[in-house]
Amino acid sequence: MSGNIFLAGALAAAGYRSLLFDYRGFGHSQAFAIDPQRLYYEEFTTDLQTALAEAKRLRPADRVGILGLSMGGLVGAEVAASARPDFLITEGYPADLPALVAYQKAANNKTVTLPAAAAAYPTVAARVLCPWLLVAGKQDKNTPLAGSAAVVRAAGKGQRRALLTVNCGHLGAQQKLTKKTHADGYVRAIGRFLGGGA
């Protein structure tokens, strides 16, 4: 949660409510053995599904969506494919997991492992039916712009998707789109998308 507190503050200043939570094994959540080489765990999807259901319970009359950054975007897409939030916003979306693993090995000599369920991941984006804004950094080598652009191009009939490209690296859009206060331009871009604009 702590890594997103300033973004939550920027969203609150613009009139949005945020429900922050820690995945199991992080922060104040329950103990869970985390392998530092593992990109994500299938259990994180359950955690986000539970948080989404709680947000809907707390605010049944509101539009409730998911904002996921990097690995959170991966898990967010998995949840959006089944739980049907009102919208999905991702930044640094990992569209190609094998390419991400290969990049980490080549660029950082870091071994990244994936859960068995990752084999089905290429089918997830096609099943996301809610409006989806993909924020992508033009210099992002970890989760390249090309992956997010491909997800937008692959949208089927009735799937509303938009791509916001930012002149930054991995997860640098909030800082790059800051004008006066943290992430104010980032939040305005989200507002335009949720209001029906590009």
Domain ranges of the chain: 37-194
Q: Do the beta carbons of residue 151 and residue 134 sit within 8 Å?
A: yes
Measured CA distances, 110 to 18, 73, 101, 121, 131 (Å): 33, 21, 8, 22, 34
pLDDT at residue 198, rounded to an integer: 64
- Confidence label for 132 from pLDDT (cuts 50, 70 and 90): very high
Assign a CATH topology to domain 37-194. Rossmann fold (3.40.50)
Whether the pLDDT of residue 41 is over 70: the answer is yes
Confidence (pLDDT) at 133: 98
Tell me the C-alpha distance between 146 and 78, whole Å: 20
> Is the distance from CB of 77 to CB of 124 less than 8 angstroms?
yes
- Express each pLDDT in 18-33 by its tens digit: 999 988 888 878 888 8
Rounded distance between C-alpha atoms, residue 189 and residue 19, angstroms: 20
Please tell me the pTM assigned to this model: 0.95
Residues with Cβ within 8 Å of 80's Cβ and at least 6 positions away in sequence, in order, are 66, 88, 128, 130, 132
Two structure tokens written together for 108: 């950082």
Separation CA 49–CA 181 (nearest Å): 31
Give yes or no for residue 34 having a pLDDT over 90: no
- 53-90 pLDDT, tens digit per residue, is 999 999 999 999 999 999 999 999 999 999 999 999 99
